[in-house]
Structure 1
Amino acid sequence: MATWTWSDAWVFSSIKGTGPDDGYRLSEILMTADTINHAVLTEAEFTRAVPRLLAVGLIGADAEADRYWLTETGRALYRQRMKRRGLFGWMDAIPPALGRLGEPQDSAWSLPAGAFDQAVREYLKQAKQTLKRLGGPTVQDPPLS
């Protein structure tokens, strides 16, 4: 029996926007994920969560256009569960909300070849530039898969 994972909630909580025109690029999702959990998502975590979230209608995704967004249902769930919670409130609020949706539906879903590694490089480049501008510590590049 499949169950919702903590990383499913993490991916969901890292996606913003209302449609393809203002949806997040994968590099922006990685940035948000790092901000709210102080870690970088793995490709396996992302590619497992996306089809599950798509199947229950919480997100929309266009991997070829590199755009991911919350549906109206996803925005409503997020607003309802995150009311009066801070930046890290998703950890307590979102996993149980996903669990109430029933068993997740797994399906094959993948990114275009090299898209995840490219998004990681874009995110790290931006993070380095921001930290340099702010005079903060340097960021080490993680090994790419």
Structure 2
Amino acid sequence: MAAWTIADAWVFTAIEGTGPHDGHPLTRIVAKADAINHAVLLESEFVRAVPRLVAAGLIEAAPAADRYWHTETGRALYDRWITRGGLFAWSTVIPPALEQLGPPQDPAAGWSLPAGAFQRAVQAHLRG
């Protein structure tokens, strides 16, 4: 049975915005993920987490437009749980919130980014 991972929680916490108009680009997500966990996300972590979070109704993703954002449900979950411990307590408050949703759904077809998009985002972040 599939289980939520710490990377799923990490990606969820690093995403901001409430729609395509204020969703964040991948470079900003990589930067926030690094800031809150002092490590750079791996592409494999990101491409596994995003479709799980989309299937759970917590985020939306437009990889061709380089935008990712919380749905209303995702924003409510984020706000409710982060207020319990603050942003830097994400690793203790977000995983239990995801687990309360039940097991994640892994899509049958693989989800991917445009070729080279993740590497470009990481390089842009590291050049900062």
TM-score (normalizing by structure 1): 0.85
Question: 3-state SS of the aligned residue for 1:64?
Answer: helix
Q: Give the drift of 1:84.
A: 4.1
Q: Give the drift of 1:83.
A: 1.2
1:122 to 113, 121, 124: 124
Question: 3-state SS of the aligned residue for 2:65?
Answer: coil
Segments of 5+ residues of structure 2 without an aligned counterpart are none
**Per-residue displacement from partner, 1:30-63 (whole Å, max 9, x unpaired)?**
0000000000000000000000000011001000
Partner amino acid, structure 2, of 1:39: A
Q: Give the drift of 1:125.
A: 1.4
- Is 1:101 aligned to residue 110 of structure 2? no
Report if the CA contact (8 A) 2:84-2:93 is conserved: no
Output the aligned Cα RMSD. Answer: 0.8
Whole-Å Cα distance in 2 between the matches of residues 115 and 101 of structure 1? 30
Higher relative helix content: 2
Whole-Å Cα distance in 2 between the matches of residues 29 and 77 of structure 1? 18
Calculate percent identity across the aligned residue pairs: 63
Question: 3-state SS of the aligned residue for 1:18?
Answer: coil
Segments of 5+ residues of structure 1 without an aligned counterpart are 127-145
Whole-Å Cα distance in 2 between the matches of residues 3 and 70 of structure 1? 21
TM-score (normalizing by structure 2): 0.96
Partner amino acid, structure 2, of 1:117: Q
